[in-house]
Amino acid sequence: MGAYIRERLFGDDTAPRKRRGNSPLKDHEALGRVLGALGRSRLSSNLNQLAKAVNTGSLPVTPETEADLRQACRDVAEMRADLLRALGKSPGDGP
């Protein structure tokens, strides 16, 4: 439909649309690591439990809790870097 409309509006001189490849992936191994880590983790459940505990004020702040949270942040940062590499981006790119 889009090609027909372009042809009717602009005639035969219109350049064909550029098509992207089927997969933006650059590093399938990095994507596999991320998906494997997400599959092994209970990340969504754990984040939900943490949010609930924070909202109710029942999250005990112990050295162990702090260490676990810091490790979780490192794990998420590592997954982000792997995901960016899988998409052909540098971990330093973007926000």
**pTM of model > 0.75:** no
Average pLDDT over residues 73-84: 82
Q: What is the pLDDT of residues 13-61, one digit of tens each?
A: 767 666 665 556 677 787 788 778 777 777 777 777 887 887 888 888 7
Look at residue 95 and tell me whether its pLDDT is greater than 60: no
Q: Residues 89, 91, 93, 95: is their CA dihedral positive or negative?
A: positive
CA-CA distance, 78 to 42, in Å (whole number)? 16
Residue 67 is given by DSSP the state H
1 or 23, which is more confident: 1
Look at residue 8 and tell me whether its pLDDT is greater than 60: yes
